[in-house]
Structure 1
């Protein structure tokens, strides 16, 4: 009897582990396992549970890469299949998480035939609407990040198309939905800023080369980039060293939308004390060429750092010295200009920001 009890406990533990979340794709997160032919009418999915591991509602289509809609070719970013969310359609999956923990969702999306497309991402009680009017890459696909704090051990991730088009099939394509646990870093005696090296952030798909967009904080109550807020109208891009040139470590931020693309962090300071804000400015080796300027702000102090990019990687370092006039100082960075890639005039790009440090200066000496 005791042996049976132990076996039952082990089976239950195995069951729990099978559903427990680990960083990476959600179950069937790339939609490569599709509905049965009997659950399809053309491309439309008929049953709410026809796509394995997902629950759908509304007009949802199962799209194969290379499929045509009129004269438009539908392209899937990874693998062979994706889903398209028509009018008021949604996809949903339950995930086992740790209560109170922060998580970031990363997914790829593309516009199709609608002029204005939005996506509503929900993990109750958090919800955010991500606009898709601005395309940042010419291949038609962008990857987006959105963060939340888990209130329960089981959460439901819902991606919903709130649009109402004349053609119910005119909705965004969705593919490759992943999740990553976030561990918000704390200030240290080596850096008063949190996550100044940008190493903590959303999941980056290993087989994609376009980075991950982090939306403005008006769209997301919890930043996918811990410690930082995107305080602009447009997104910033989170990039990795596997696909881009990064000044230090494995992650950095690319300021891709001029003055509409800014990141900020509020840090505790001591009035009258001198501080050095140091950082690296470069390019991502993605054919983003030309004259760039990164503007750095520390309270009322500011500095403009020019960077002449050849689009092949490289960086320079800069320092903004300032005297704190408040117990809290806002640190902010933005790019002065809009820039397009020289090999692709439809893709936004910009200067790379990395290795941001803030330290107090005990015996200030004049900077050269």
Structure 2
């Protein structure tokens, strides 16, 4: 069956009725499968026959026994085209005008069909960045075919969820497994944030800790000594109290009076603001590596978004900023963008 004329008619329709089925990009408010199927059957009926293998194309219907699930799935790409050594199939279709920030996933497959009518290939690709889950390339762009779109040539890319978060992430979030970012998930994040803020509020001399951590980070990055050497090390000394108020100096062990050093050599030497005098023991505890005895560690709520490359959590916990670590997640995203967007003005995202 030659569907090219039909597809041209669909592509030429600049205001198709399915475009009015606009779904909120918050995934917990996405259209249900029944809504998606209704749109699919009533408006885009011809696309049901676009599979390359009739035996793989099955009518949508209610959930069946586990042994028959495979027969209820729709073929997206054959194993020879997808580098997965398995058929790429989906059970659920969701029609959206743009890529949701937090797409639903499923073991049986979810396919987002995104309208790219009037868009260039570059604009279509930009939709990938709408996904807020931290992700990165697994398989780079390559040319393949898509059975769902009548085996038309497509550019395809595979991304993997990296699931990056602060090393101090709350156990309630770290041990959570979900396929949809629902209100329950947001509530857990809000609860974890409240706990993190409570730990900060309860920490004595928190402002002093922030000052200390900032100074140490600059020193370790080699920004406070010129030149910075491996032997550079911080120390704290008391430099008299002529005014009756002790003055403490946070300095590099290689620092000397400027009159005794060349102009291009400057090792760190700075007085600690007097407002931190009541907590001066925290500086010494840090140098003695006993700071952990002076603080009450707090948990975190921060999960990295999109393609963030930061190595440290932005939250200054009582124990300092945590490292961004990668958690375990098996979720992948396969994107298909037809080479001929004028005939097939749809972009697919299989989750």
> Hey, which of these two has a bigger chunk of helix by percent?
2
Which structure has the highest strand share of the two? 1
Bigger radius of gyration:
2
| TM-score, normalisation: structure 2 | 0.22
- Scaled by the length of structure 1, the TM-score of the pair is 0.22
- Larger RCO of the pair (alpha carbons < 8 Å, separation 6+): 2
